[in-house]
Amino acid sequence: MTRKSSTLAVVLSFIIFMVTVTGCTKSTPAPLSVSEIISKSSEKMEAVNSFHFVLDHVGGGTPIAMGLEMTNAVGDVVRPDRLKATISGKLSGMFLEVQIVTVGEEMYMTNPFTGKWELLPTQFSVLKVFDPNTGIAAIMKGIVGLAKLSDEEMEGAICYHLSGSIDSDELSPITVSSVEGVTIRIEVWIGVEDFLVRHIKLEGKITEAEVEGIIRTLKLSKFNEEVSIEVPG
């Protein structure tokens, strides 16, 4: 072997050695703690411009307006202050379905009996339940005793699955009034890749009018898609 060939062989051997060592010593990122997951998710949700939601109640409903008790809601939210939804519920024992639109401070709902749009008083704002800065943020920031469960697929995404509890008082921003001193069990599913909340499950009575053992599930999807919401004509 010539001196030039020998030198080249040494150089190549050194390069191969360094690549091997670098590859073997490359560190694996440490798993995120539950508090880090919640923090990242809160930041991501506050930056969301729009999303689709499905809210379901099992074992009861939430009073909203005109004596209507909401058991299901499907719709869209556009920040900062627009919402449209189809709400199913009960009124005096009858099952009804109404449309709701919120634009700014004004909230409109179709009359359960005539179907005509009516301007409602602002005593209860449905938007607060779904607003990333009030409803969802209140839920996320008020959770205590967090534990990380096994990752699960939820709403088409692999998610961190967290469980904990929240005091009913922390939920007053989304219900206007809440029963005091009640611990609500909560589970949250947060996208591993994007840290967006895909699913929330709340178990327990939040308002005085609700029954014990009520369970709410809130599913979120279609983040940042273009949605048009206008005042009803």
* C-alpha closest to that of 162 among 194, 131, 183, 192: 192
Q: What torsion, rounded to 10 degrees, do the Cα atoms 220, 225, 226, 227 define?
A: -10
Contacts of 151 by beta carbon, 8 Å cutoff, 6+ apart: 158, 159, 160, 161, 192
> 122 exposed, middle or buried (CB, 10 Å; 0-12, 13-18, 19+)?
exposed
Q: Where are the domains of the chain?
A: 34-221
Per-residue pLDDT of the chain (233 residues; tens, 9 = 90+): 555 455 545 444 544 444 444 444 445 567 889 989 998 998 888 889 999 999 888 887 777 666 777 889 899 999 888 989 998 888 777 888 989 898 888 889 898 888 899 987 765 555 566 665 566 766 777 888 999 999 999 878 999 999 999 887 777 656 655 677 788 899 999 999 999 999 999 888 777 777 778 898 989 999 999 999 999 97
Contacts of 38 by beta carbon, 8 Å cutoff, 6+ apart: 140, 141, 143, 146, 162, 190
CB atoms within 10 A of CB 49: 14
In this predicted structure, what is the pLDDT of residue 22? 43
In this predicted structure, what is the pLDDT of residue 2? 58
In this predicted structure, what is the pLDDT of residue 71? 86
Characterise 95 by phi-psi region: left (phi > 0), alpha (psi -120 to 50), beta (else). beta
Helix (H) or strand (E) segment spanning residue 4: helix 3-25
**The CATH number of 34-221 is which of 3.30.70.1520, 2.50.20.20, 1.10.10.10, 3.40.920.10?**
2.50.20.20
Q: What is the pTM of this model?
A: 0.79
In this predicted structure, what is the pLDDT of residue 17? 43
* C-alpha closest to that of 197 among 218, 227, 168, 166: 218
Q: Please state whether beta strands 50-58 and 68-78 pair in parallel, antiparallel, or not at all (unpaired).
A: antiparallel
In this predicted structure, what is the pLDDT of residue 129? 62
Q: Three-class SS string for 70-116? A: EEEEEEEEECCCEEEEEEEEEECCEEEEEEEEEECCEEEEECCCCCC
